Amino acid sequence: MSSPVKDTAAMISGMAPFLDDALYHFCKGPEALLPQALASFREEEGLSLILTDTVARAEGLETELPMKRITLSVHSALDGVGLTAAVATVLADNGIACNMVAGYHHDHAFVPAADAERAVALLNVLAQGS
């Protein structure tokens, strides 16, 4: 297992973005779907779930904004500074919405499915330039 990377330039140059083939949706969820969620977050307004397109559609949940997940393959340190900012900035500068989710090992950028290929290309350019 790799050690976490904390240096900003090293996180950016080593991010190796990987595009997941699946479609995802951010949904307001019922508790019963928690085991099927890729991720969840409890907010004051209720439970938010990230669900596959298949699950969201089967449950009749909102599917108006299909998202793709881009995993930043670098094992970024939880206290590392700058990776999220760099990713969000390059995507925002190019008109691409981005919802970041941090896991223990990796950060994940969820972008509108229609923009996913372009987002990966931009992130690869960012990684090569650092």
Note whether 73 and 91 are same-domain residues.
yes
Note whether 90 and 121 are same-domain residues.
yes
Q: How many domains does the chain have?
A: 2
pLDDT over 70 at 34, yes or no: yes
Domain of 53 in residue numbering reads as 24-65
Note whether 126 and 77 are same-domain residues.
yes
Rounded to the nearest 5 degrees, what angle is found at the Cα of 102, between the Cα atoms of 70 and 125? Answer: 40
The CATH number covering residue 130 comes to 3.30.2130.10
Residue pLDDT, tens place only, 2-22: 789 998 899 999 999 999 999
Note whether 5 and 45 are same-domain residues.
no
Note whether 36 and 83 are same-domain residues.
no
The residue type of 76 is S
Note whether 105 and 54 are same-domain residues.
no
Note whether 107 and 43 are same-domain residues.
no
* Rounded CA separation 107/92 (Å): 17
Contact 35, 93 (CB under 8 A): no
pTM of the model: 0.94
Residue pLDDT, tens place only, 105-116: 999 999 999 999
